[in-house]
Amino acid sequence: MTVTVIGIGLIGGSMALALKELGLASRVIGVDTDPAHSQKALELKLVDDILPLDKAIGVSQLIILAIPVNSAEKLLPSILGQVNEQVIMDVGSTKKGLLDAVADHPKRGRVVATHPMWGTEYSGPEAAVKGAFLNKATVICDREQTDADALATVESLYRSLGMHLVYMNAKDHDVHVAYISHISHITSFALANTVLEKEKEEDAIFELASGGFESTVRLAKSNPAMWVPIFMQNRENILDVLNEHISQLRKFKASLEKENYDYLQELIEQANGIKRILK
């Protein structure tokens, strides 16, 4: 089948690479508003062709929407107006706003809302990773509102990529990713700003930063063009998570201020409970 990937960045580029390497697509078309991205995607052989959006839609069986979530929300209704039997699959990090935007569209059933749970702090076509999705999870939201054939096409594609499928409604998805993903990025951004503000000796940061610090703060290198829209879309859920996170930080602060080291140990032991889930 012919697949169009709209947005040839980290996720879109990695998806295009996988489709080509696994023979899941006979032709991969790229659509991107950045000419430099388009050229680089061709050079890296992530895509076979670059076409304007309307022409790409007309010759494709599957359309993968891999652009920032605010842009996807604006563009999806227009794409739906141009499809017949084509399947549209999005890969964004929030779902409710996107699906609300097309809830009453007569072709809503052609949309399969998905979120492959993988990513890095890098962006652009150069960030595409071979085998990125193998043994990872992907979430499919509100499948009961999707046409059976469209759902089957996307399920088959993800299974061919080596992913396992998780189903949930869009609202629950956005709550869960606020805790599992979005708060991690905010924490990393805030920690990076803390270090940059308080540690003026850049050489010291470079020399002394251990693996632990680097792994904690690596997400601070993530692209703001991607993450600001995510935070906007999932604002209410993220605020709930931030309130709880700040409450936990205050507990650590209070234990140190009051020299209550028994309580500090209790907090750390409580946190160790995450080992039951992440082994």
Specify the pLDDT at position 275. 87
Specify the pLDDT at position 157. 98
Specify the pLDDT at position 194. 87
pLDDT tens digits for range 94-115: 999 999 999 999 999 999 999 9
Q: Which residues contact 88 (CB under 8 A, 6 or more apart)?
A: 62, 63, 65, 76, 79, 80, 110, 111, 112
Rounded to two decimals, the pTM is 0.89
Region 207-224: mean pLDDT is 80
pLDDT tens digits for range 153-212: 999 999 999 999 999 999 999 999 999 999 999 999 999 898 888 777 667 666 666 667
- Within the chain, which residue ranges are assigned CATH 3.40.50.720? 2-169
CA–CA dist 60, 48 (Å, integer)? 13
Percentage of the chain modeled with pLDDT above 70 = 95
Q: What's the N-to-C CA distance of the chain in angstroms?
A: 39
CA–CA dist 249, 247 (Å, integer)? 5
Q: Domain 2-169: state its class.
A: alpha beta
| Domain covering 173-276 in this structure, CATH number | 1.10.3660.10
Specify the pLDDT at position 206. 66
Specify the pLDDT at position 168. 97
Specify the pLDDT at position 224. 94
Specify the pLDDT at position 217. 86
Q: Pull the structure tokens for residue 262.
A: 């028994």
- Within the chain, which residue ranges are assigned CATH 1.10.3660.10? 173-276
pLDDT tens digits for range 236-277: 999 999 999 999 999 999 999 999 999 999 999 999 998 887
Specify the pLDDT at position 204. 67
